[in-house]
Every structure is written in C-alpha cells, then in structure tokens.
Amino acid sequence: MTGLGEIAARAHEAAAEACARTESSRGARFVHEGILRRQSVREPAARTYARALPIVPVRARGLTIEGADGRRYLDCLSGAGALALGHNHPVVLEAIRKVLDSGAPLHALDLATPVKDAFVTELFRTLPPGLADRARVRFCGPAGTDAVKAAEQLVQSATGRSGMLAFTGVPDGATTEAPPMPRDPTHPSSAGLPQAQDYRCPFGIGSARGAELAARWTESVLDPVSGLALPAGMLLEPVRSEDGVITPPDAWMRRMRQLTADRSVPLIADEIQTGVGRTGAFWAVDHSGVTPDVMVLSNAIGGSLPLAVLVYRDDLDAGEPHTPTAAFPGNQLAMAAGTATLSYVRENSLGERAGAIGSRMLDQLRSLAREFPILGDIRGRGLLIGIELVDPAGDAEVGLTEAQAQAQVEAEVGADGRHRVVTADRPAEGAGARSGLDVSGHDGGAFMGGPRPAAPELAAAVQRECLRRGLIVDLGGRRTSVIRLLPPLTITDGQATAVLDRLADAVANVARNYAASGSRPHRQDQQHPPHDQAG
C-alpha cells in the first residue's frame, strides 16, 4: 500500500507541476500579447522590425533570444549587425560594469577621457595601414545616419565643393542613404551611378564586362569634358547590405579608388554594417586593398550600444572651433563596449572565422537554390548573406548584348562630349525595355537570359515561416525581396547548421504552397505563430 501511495503522490505532484506550467505559459502569453497590443496603440504605424517580428525579447545570450511568452529564437538579425559578438557577450558586459563601478562620467561631450583614449587606440590598431598612419577620428551623433551626414559636411568643407556621387544597385532603385539631389545642374546626380553587380546588372550582362561598363559610366561623369563640376566626394558601400547584399567586384572597387584619387575626390567608405569582421575581413575594404579617405563607422563598433564615428585622412581636417557637433558624441559605455568588441574580434581572428563559416553556409544555400527555383540568387561575403526570392513563373528580364550595353554608355555622352545629367526627373536608364532600346535583335551577339522578377511576397512568407520555426531573419533589397542573414561572428558550427535547417524547412514550405496555389501569397502583417523549437 505504501508503494501505491508513493506512486499516487508522485502522480499528483507531476499533475500539479504540469498544471503550474500551463498556468505560467498562459500568464506569459497574456503579458506578451498585452505588451504588443500597447505598442501597436502607442507607437507609429511606421514601425519596421516590430511589424515583421512580433516578439517581446526579455532575455538574450549569444545567438539566442527568449521572448516574454517563453519561446526561444535564433537571432540572425543581430541588431542589424550591431551585435558582432551576439547578445550580452561576457567581455562586453564586463567592460560596461567596469565603467559603471569606476564612477566615471557617462556623458562627457567631446572631452578626453581614459575610456575614449582606450577606444581610439584600439580602433586605430584595426584600420587599413594607409589610413591609420595619418588618421583623425570624429565622434558624431549615435546613429550611422549622423555619421553619413557628418562625412558629407567634412568633404564639402575640405574641398570647397558641393554635390556627392553615390550609387544605385539597380536601374530603377535609389540608395537609401544618398544625400538630396543637388539643385545646380552642373553637379552630377547623387543617386544615378550604376554599381557593378552580376545578378541584376544595370546593363543586363553582368560579369567583368558589366563591371567595366559601370566603371566607364562613372569615369564619364568625372571626365573634365563632361561639363559637370567635380563633386565634394564619392560615397560607396563595399557591400550594399540594406540594398540586398550587393557585393561589387574587388577590381571595380580599386577602379573607383583610382578614379577618385586621380581627381582629388575624397572616397568615403560606408562600413556601418560591414565593419568589425562581418564580411570575413576586419573592414570590407580590406578585401580589395582599397584605402578610403573617409570611413563611416557605427553599429558593431559600439559593442551593441549606440556609437558612430568618422575616421578620415588628416589633410581633410578643416574643422574650426565652435563647429557644431552632436550632443552625445561621448557615450562612455558604448566606447568601453566597443573597445572590448574590437579587441576580441581582432585577437580571436573572428573576421577570418566569419569568412570560413560564411563560405560553408553560402555553399549549402546554393545547393538549396538548385532544389527550389523560388531562390533566385544566393550571395554574400562572410556572415553577411543575401537570398533573393523570385517568381519562377515570371518572365525573365531581358538582357542586352554587349554591343547594346556599350552603346548605352556611349549614349550618355553627347556629340559635344558633355555628359547628360542624371536627375530625379530623368533616372539612369537600365537594360532592355526600360531603356527604350530595340532588343528584338542585334548583330552584337546573343542576349543573356536575365533574372526572374523579384518576389517580395515570397520573401515575406519565408520570413514568417522562419519565425514559426524560431528563426529571426531580415528583409531588404530590391522591393524587399531579399532574406538577409547577419548572425553574430561567434556563431558555432552547430548553430549554423540549425539556422540553415530551419531556413530550408521554411523555404520548402513556401515553395510547396506556391506550387499548390500557382500564385504568390499576398503580403500581410505578420501574426505571432507558435513554434516548438528552442534555440
């Protein structure tokens, strides 16, 4: 009887524990839904990540986030690349605690402090040699956009010129960070220059020849006979992350460096999302061996806290006393966290490791793309990976022959040798039907088949299915049709496998639904779906 009594007691305890877990889960769900409901009422409809990712993070470590409802996720967004070491890395937390325990000021304007001195010293250790030897650093407002604006002001003040050159990844696109169009018609457009890329080449031919034509277009803008004044600077991203992870060839990057150096046009490299080991090198410009005149840095350099700086060649330093500066350039906690992050990435060669793991992930994703035609292109560098979703039933974009593409570049320079200005009213023309060229036939050679139409609805569906499986991914690129993966540099081989398994399962589900329905799903705001997989 005693044995039966013990068994009954244990069964009662187990039932009570199960009931408590159920009640706890219900309570967590209630808290979770209440927070989301209040957010939707109090915050603007312009929310970005929150609309696509209806979760309420309460705890996080490394790659893993736990929500208020108790569910766990693998985070491949990493604060838009700000979390190089993942969430709450021990070296970052220790650095922050040291500052808090020391009694040091948390707000120091632009005054010198031991914390700032340590940060700048570590930052200079990582810079391209040609820049580190004669660099200056300016602390801006805490956002990357603050640093971009400061970079424009810097080169305009240093050169006495106005107007900026920037690039667009596709003919009908525009850079999100490009400055406003100049009003002076003698200045080149800031958003009309084609950037070299393969999958959606502005000239429809891709490869080295497409990159050469893109470079010649830029060269024609900077040619003295173009009729355009030299700009104050050229702003480019070594990898266009938000625009869908577009990586121009290293040779094209070197060509841009040579073009600008020959004409004394400062080259500004935007490393906001690509810096601190993300692409497989400490800075993305390191892949091409390019040394820019100015580097715009943010996100990961603050070790997960807000921080943005400019690093630039000393002869551009035209600042005068009383030059307006930001109110918060001296974030001591961010500098301490940034120093810890920079040194940890450098000392542990995390950039090289990101390159190796990223290469393996890209190989596996390309194998997946061969199985599912909704995956149009797999691209990336290191742990900055883009997966473009396309409509496999849509008509392929028509490419140009090489002769037609060459003619289009030459058409941009009139008979008088003066470049036709690209403006907001007259965007740069692209390939095929968009350019108005006759593509019915040409003796320049055979047409190349272009990519299928971008499919933002499919991309959104994959993102939703990933969330159901406990995986957080981002969207970006051409019409928001690119899944972006930015896992922390500390991701393990096992975690990388888990990420790809969940992503592959999500893609397979969307592909099946697409095949069954014969049409793309409608875009909709995400609802928080249940999932059982823990991070």
Question: Which phi and psi angles does 351 have, rounded to 5°?
Answer: -65, -50
pLDDT reported for residue 418? 46
For the chain, what is the total number of helices (H) and then of strands (E)?
A: 14, 16
Return all residues near 508 (Cβ < 8 A) that are at least 6 apart.
372
Q: Which of 240, 270, 238 is nearest to 146 (CA)?
A: 270
pLDDT reported for residue 108? 86
- Give me the residue label for tokens 């009594």: 5
pLDDT reported for residue 368? 97
pLDDT reported for residue 77? 95
Q: Which of 351, 347, 450 is nearest to 405 (CA)?
A: 450
Bridging pattern class, strands 167-168 and 135-139 = unpaired
Nearest-angstrom CA–CA distance, 95 and 111:
20
Residues (pLDDT < 70) of the chain are: 1-5, 7-27, 30, 169-192, 319-327, 398-449, 518-535
pLDDT reported for residue 7? 65
178, two tokens: 């490009």
Say what angle helices 456-468 and 493-517 make with each other, to 10 degrees: 130
Nearest-angstrom CA–CA distance, 374 and 520:
10
Euclidean distance between the first and the last CA atom of the chain, given in angstroms as a whole number: 44
pLDDT reported for residue 122? 97
Nearest-angstrom CA–CA distance, 477 and 386:
9
Q: Which of 152, 135, 122 is nearest to 317 (CA)?
A: 135
SS3 for 137? strand
pLDDT reported for residue 535? 42
Q: Is residue 294 within 8 Å of residue 313, measured between CB atoms? A: yes
Degrees, nearest 5: CA angle 89-95-100: 125
Neighbours of 168 (CB within 10 A): 24
pLDDT reported for residue 435? 29
76, two tokens: 């491949």
Say what angle helices 332-347 and 90-102 make with each other, to 10 degrees: 140
Instruction: Give me the amino acid identity at 144.
Output: G
Instruction: Give me the amino acid identity at 49.
Output: Y
- Give me the residue label for tokens 């632009």: 110
DSSP 376: E
**In which element (H, E) is residue 378 found?**
strand 375-381
Q: Where are the alpha helices (DSSP H) in 476-522?
A: 493-517
SS3 for 165? strand
